[in-house]
Chains A and B, each alone.
Chain A
Amino acid sequence: MAGNKGRGRAAYTFNIEAVGFSRGEKLPDVVLKPPPLFPDTDYKPVPLKTGEGEDYVLALKQELRETMKRMPYFVETPEEKQDIERYSKRYMKVYKEEWIPDWRRLPRELMPRKKCKKAGPKSKKAKNTDKDTSLTNTADVLKKIEELEKRGDGEKSDEENEEKEGSKEKSKEGDDEDEDDAADQEEYDEEEQEEENDYINSYFEDGDDFGADSDDNMDEATY
Chain B
Amino acid sequence: MTQAEIKLCSLLLQEHFGEIVEKIGVHLVRTGSQPLRVIAHDTGTSLDQVKKALCVLIQHNLVIHRVHKRGVVEYEAQCSRVLRMLRYPRYIYTAKTLYSDTGELLVEELLLNGKMTMSAVVKKVADRLTETMEDGKTMDYAEVSNTFVRLADTHFVQRCPVVPATENSEPGPPPPAPTLVISEKDMYLVPKLSLIGKGKRRRSSDEDATGEPKAKRPKHTSDNKEPIPDDGIYWQANLDRFHQHFRDQAIVSAVANRMDQTSSEIVRTMLRMSEITTSSSAPFTQPLSSNEIFRSLPVGYNISKQVLDQYLTLLADDPLEFVGKSGDSGGGMYVINLHKALGCLATASLESVVQERFGSRCARIFRLVLQKKHLEQKQVEDFAMIPAKEAKDMLYKMLSENFISLQEIPKTPDHAPSRTFYLYTVNIPSAARMLLHRCYKSVANLIERRQFETKENKRLLEKSQRVEAIIASMQATGAEEAQLQEIEEMITAPERQQLETLKRNVNKLDACEIQVDETIFLLESYIESTLKRQ
- Chain A residues at the B interface, C-beta cutoff of 8 Å: 12-15, 18, 20-21, 41-43, 45-46, 48-49, 53-54, 56-58, 60-62, 64-65, 67-68, 71, 73-77, 101-102, 104-112, 135, 137, 150, 152, 155, 158, 179-181, 189-190, 192-194, 196-197, 199, 208, 212-213, 215
CA distance A54 to B507 in the complex (A): 11
- Are B17 and A73 in touch, CB under 8 angstroms? yes
A101–B15 alpha-carbon span in the complex (Å): 22
**A48–B508 touching, CB < 8 Å:** yes
- Main SS at interface, chain B: helix
For the complex, what is the distance from the CA of A14 to the CA of B415, rounded to whole Å? 11
Q: Is B510's CB under 8 angstroms from A106's CB?
A: no
Measured in the bound complex, the distance between the Cα atoms of B512 and A58 in whole Å is 10
Chain B residues with Cβ below 8 Å from A67 are 112
B177 touches A43 (CB 8 A): no
Among B59, B65, B174, point to the contact of A101 (Cβ < 8 A).
Answer: B59
Which listed residue (B47, B71, B377, B418) contacts A181, Cβ 8 A? B47
Tell me whether A108 and B89 are in contact in the complex, defined as CB-CB below 8 angstroms, given that A77-B18, A180-B46 are known contacts: no
Whether B246 sits at the interface, judged by CB under 8 Å, is: no
Q: How far is the CA of A58 from the CA of B388 in the complex (A)?
A: 47
**Inside 8 A of B377's CB, which chain A residues have their CB?**
18, 20
**Do A65 and B15 touch across chains, with their CB atoms under 8 A apart?**
yes
From B18, B58, B71, B234, A106 is in contact (CB under 8 Å) with: B58
Query: Interface on chain A toward B: helix, strand, loop, or mixed SS?
Result: loop
Shortest Cβ distance from A16 into B: residue: B418
Contact A107–B88 (Cβ < 8 Å) = no
Q: Are A213 and B37 in contact (CB under 8 A)?
A: yes
For residue B474, CB closer than 8 A to chain A, the reply is no
Contact check, B73 vs A107: say whether CB atoms are below 8 A apart: yes
CA distance A6 to B389 in the complex (A): 29
Residues facing A in B396-448 (CB within 8 A) are: 416-419, 422
Q: Is the CB of B173 within 8 A of A137?
A: no
6 closest A-B pairs by beta carbon, nearest first, are A14-B418, A107-B177, A60-B89, A20-B392, A212-B47, A61-B89
B residues 69-93 near A (Cβ < 8 Å) are 70-73, 88-90, 92-93
Q: A41-B357, A102-B232, A109-B36 are in contact. Are A75 and B46 (CB under 8 A)?
A: no
Contact partner of B92 among A42, A60, A190, CB < 8 A? Answer: A60
A68 touches B112 (CB 8 A): yes
Bound-complex Cα distance A137 to B55 (A):
15
> A161 CA to B375 CA in the complex, in Å?
74
